[in-house]
Amino acid sequence: MDIHPSAWIADDALIDRTHPAGIHIGANCVIDHHAVVLTHDMSRGLYCDTRICDGAHVGARAIVFPGVTLGADCRVDPGAVVTRDVEPGQRVAGNPARPEEG
């Protein structure tokens, strides 16, 4: 695992420990309560690096799938299911997560 010391991860957030080498969390990130960050998918035999870049915020109960990169300063709304990369500074919501308009 590569987790910057300034990152804040809620005690009840779930960070995948099946493939811990695939976790990369940058400076000043927030992973909120009950959020899930995955690096593996047993059904497909997939083990990928999941990156959460500097300043990103993962909302409560959001799920980040294996192999996804969350760009710097992006926001994942609570309950979102992130299946694709998120651009820096972008805000996403929904299932599957899509950029918010406006």
CATH value at residue 78: 2.160.10.10
Interatomic CA distance for residues 81 and 92, integer angstroms: 9
Q: For residue 22, what are the domain limits?
A: 2-90
pLDDT at 37 over 90: yes
pTM: 0.93
Residue 52 lies in a domain: yes
pLDDT at 102: 58
| Residue carrying the six token digits 């927030």 | 30
User: What SS3 state is found at 20?
Assistant: helix
13-36 pLDDT per residue, tens: 999 998 899 999 999 999 999 999
Residue 72 lies in a domain: yes
Residue 99 lies in a domain: no
Residue 34 lies in a domain: yes
- Per-residue pLDDT band for 45 (boundaries 50, 70, 90) equals confident
Residue 84 lies in a domain: yes
Q: How many domains does the chain have?
A: 1
Residue 97 lies in a domain: no
Interatomic CA distance for residues 33 and 35, integer angstroms: 6
Interatomic CA distance for residues 93 and 19, integer angstroms: 26
How much is the mean pLDDT over the chain?
95
